């Protein structure tokens, strides 16, 4: 089944892929199912946050507002599901704090996400990492590499994912694997110098590296015009090819990632994808986004472009499922989320002995000091075999 994506790709130093995407009923239904699950999961997380089940900075002026914006990826499901449709689990991903969806996309469970958010033992990182530090090693998911917590500032380190991504790509090449590494970052992070350092190395060494810039037009309260002289992120690799993609369209994302992966795996080096996500909602309370257009306009555009709605529309237009079938999917996903929330709440906190676990793998001679001089733990005695 072939479907044309409405918005054309814009290319830089490369011929763009076709706007006609090969897909199937199963794929579209799966994308819808996945993205609907992601949407519900984020809504549930938001409720949990407000109910103080998830740690955050309630004393902050705008903590809640930030939390909502950080967690509500109303514009991100398309990127996640589109990406996974073109990758396999031997391809590696390193992403930003918005890692819940990525975690699901990589095959993680809703419970792993929910429990991690609440700092519980069933979490993706057993409660040690927190909401923004989920990892899934067996699916080559190297985490929301940054920081944790639904709060204004320390949720994550925009700077440190792209060189890591280059390292993942290096390993693919070193081990001669037919895979790529994907490094995801925001428009705000796109100005960080390390990005340019890593891209130069990746280009010199022809590493199979896909940069994915999720341009939601704001980094915290800063509009891109204030943070980037050249906000054409797909061109920011300069001498590296790039592609601008409608980041609200899962099929466009799939097509772009497929194209990028082929480019990389064929030995042509890195590529930069800009996912335009037309940020419809405020990034935070202080986002002026609502001052320059009416609520109606925003709602209207959202109905047109919302990634989940778009997939639903596709299903309806092409008569892939009937209304009852769609409803059944939605119901099933909501149930999954409800169960994950309940299981997450029921999940115990990590046991006290995990406090000093996993600091070193070889624990010989490692003695961890507690808060005072009398509290000492010999790690081999506590955790290890000699």
Partner 1 sequence: TMMTVRDALNSAMAEEMERDQKVFIMGEEVGDYQGAYKITKGLIQRFGPERVRDTPITEAGFAGLACGAGFMGLKPVVEFMTFNFAMQAIDHIVNTAAKTLYMSAGTISCPIVFRGPNGAAAGVGAQHSQCFAAWYMSIPGLKVVVPYDAEDARGLMKAAIRDPDPVIFLENELLYGESFPISKEALSPEHVAPLGKALVMRPGSDVTLVSFSKMVGECKKAAEELAKEGIDAEVINLRCLRPLDRDAIAASVRKTNRIVVVEEGWPQAGVGAEIAAMVMEDAFDHLDAPVERITGVDIPMPYAKNLEDLALPKVADIVRVAKRVCYK
Ligand X SMILES: Cc1ncc(C[n+]2csc(CCOP(=O)(O)OP(=O)(O)O)c2C)c(N)n1
Give the binding site for ligand X (CB under 6 A). 96, 146, 153-159, 186-189, 214, 216, 218-220
Contact 313, 323 (CB under 8 A): no
Reading the block at residue 154, the tokens are 């320390």
Q: How far is the CB of 192 from a second copy (least distance, A)?
A: 7
- By beta carbon distance, the residue nearest Mg ion is 186
Partner touching 226 among Mg ion, a second copy, ligand X, none, CB below 5 to 8 Å by kind: a second copy
**For Mg ion, which is the closer residue by CB, 145 or 216?**
216
> Which of 165, 157, 172 is closest to 201 using CA atoms?
165
Residue 41 to residue 340: CA distance in whole angstroms:
9
Which residues in 169-198 contact Mg ion (CB under 5 A)?
186-188
Partner touching 272 among ligand X, partner 1, Mg ion, none, CB below 5 to 8 Å by kind: none
Residue 50 to residue 199: CA distance in whole angstroms:
40
**For Mg ion, which is the closer residue by CB, 64 or 96?**
96
**For a second copy, which is the closer residue by CB, 59 or 229?**
229
Q: How far is the CB of 215 from partner 1 (least distance, A)?
A: 14
Residue 196 to residue 204: CA distance in whole angstroms:
12
Q: How far is the CB of 173 from a second copy (least distance, A)?
A: 16
Partner touching 61 among ligand X, Mg ion, partner 1, none, CB below 5 to 8 Å by kind: partner 1
User: How far, rounded to the nearest angstrom, does the alpha carbon of residue 352 sit from its chain's CA centroid?
Assistant: 30
Which residues in 217-236 contact Mg ion (CB under 5 A)?
219
Q: How far is the CB of 242 from a second copy (least distance, A)?
A: 12
Residue 166 to residue 143: CA distance in whole angstroms:
14
**For partner 1, which is the closer residue by CB, 15 or 292?**
292
The residues, any chain, with a CB within 8 Å of residue 157's CB and separated by 6 or more, are 145, 146, 147
> Which of 356, 290, 250 is closest to 6 using CA atoms?
250
Q: How far is the CB of 103 from ligand X (least distance, A)?
A: 16
Q: How far is the CB of 189 from Mg ion (least distance, A)?
A: 8
Contact 45, 73 (CB under 8 A): no
> Which of 61, 53, 83, 71 is closest to 152 using CA atoms?
61
Only one of the segments 211-219, 303-311, 343-351, 376-384 lies at the binding site for Mg ion (rule: CB under 5 A); that segment is: 211-219
Q: How far is the CB of 155 from ligand X (least distance, A)?
A: 5
**For Mg ion, which is the closer residue by CB, 76 or 140?**
76
Partner touching 16 among partner 1, ligand X, a second copy, none, CB below 5 to 8 Å by kind: none
**For a second copy, which is the closer residue by CB, 113 or 203?**
203
| Interface ranges with a second copy (CB under 8 A) | 191-197, 200, 203-204, 226-230, 235-236, 238-240
Beta strand 242-246 pairing with 10-12:
antiparallel
Total site size for Mg ion, rule CB under 5 A: 5
User: How far, rounded to the nearest angstrom, does the alpha carbon of residue 22 sit from its chain's CA centroid?
Assistant: 24
Residue 67 binds to Mg ion (criterion: CB under 5 A): no
**For a second copy, which is the closer residue by CB, 113 or 228?**
228
**For partner 1, which is the closer residue by CB, 89 or 302?**
89
The 10 Å CB-count burial string (b at 16+, else e) for 167-184 is: bbbbebbeeeeebbbbbb
Contact 163, 174 (CB under 8 A): no
Q: Give the SS3 label for residue 232.
A: coil
Residue 255 to residue 2: CA distance in whole angstroms:
12
Q: How far is the CB of 275 from Mg ion (least distance, A)?
A: 11
- Count other C-beta atoms under 10 Å from residue 220's C-beta: 18
Give me the residues that bind Mg ion (CB under 5 A), please.
Answer: 186-188, 216, 219
């Amino acid at each position: 089944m072939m479907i044309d994506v409405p918005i054309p790709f814009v290319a830089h130093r490369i011929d763009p892929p076709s706007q006609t995407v090969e897909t199937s009923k199963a794929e579209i239904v799966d994308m819808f199912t996945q993205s609907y699950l992601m949407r519900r999961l984020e809504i549930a997380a938001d409720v949990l946050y407000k109910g103080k089940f998830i740690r955050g900075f309630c004393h902050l002026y705008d903590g809640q507002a930030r939390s909502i914006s950080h967690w509500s990826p109303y514009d991100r499901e398309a990127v996640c599901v589109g990406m996974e449709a073109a990758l396999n689990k031997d391809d590696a991903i390193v992403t930003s704090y918005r890692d819940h969806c990525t975690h699901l996309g990589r095959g993680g469970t809703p419970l792993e996400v929910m429990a991690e958010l609440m700092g519980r033992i069933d979490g993706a990182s057993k409660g040690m990492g927190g909401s923004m530090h989920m990892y899934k090693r067996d699916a080559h998911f190297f985490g929301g590499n940054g920081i944790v917590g639904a709060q204004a500032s320390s949720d994550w380190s925009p700077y440190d994912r792209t060189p890591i991504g280059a390292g993942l790509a290096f390993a693919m090449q070193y081990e001669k694997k037919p895979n790529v590494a994907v490094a995801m970052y925001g428009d705000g992070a796109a100005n960080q110098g390390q990005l340019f350092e890593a891209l130069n190395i990746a280009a010199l060494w022809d590493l199979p590296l896909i940069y994915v810039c999720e341009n939601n037009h704001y980094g915290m309260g800063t509009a891109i015009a204030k943070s980037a002289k050249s906000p054409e992120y797909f061109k920011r690799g300069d001498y590296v090819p790039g592609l601008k993609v409608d980041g609200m369209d899962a099929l466009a994302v799939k097509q772009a990632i497929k194209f990028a992966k082929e480019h990389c795996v064929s030995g042509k080096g890195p590529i930069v994808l800009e996912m335009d996500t037309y940020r419809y909602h405020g990034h935070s309370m202080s986002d002026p986004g609502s001052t320059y257009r009416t609520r109606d306009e925003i709602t209207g555009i959202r109905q047109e472009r919302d990634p989940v709605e778009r997939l639903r529309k596709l299903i309806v237009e092409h008569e892939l499922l009937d209304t009852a079938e769609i409803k059944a999917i939605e119901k099933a996903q909501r149930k999954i989320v409800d169960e994950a929330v309940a299981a997450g709440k029921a999940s115990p906190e990590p046991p006290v002995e995990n406090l000093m676990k996993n600091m070193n793998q070889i624990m010989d001679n490692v003695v961890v000091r507690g808060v005072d001089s009398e509290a000492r733990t010999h790690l081999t005695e506590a955790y290890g075999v000699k």
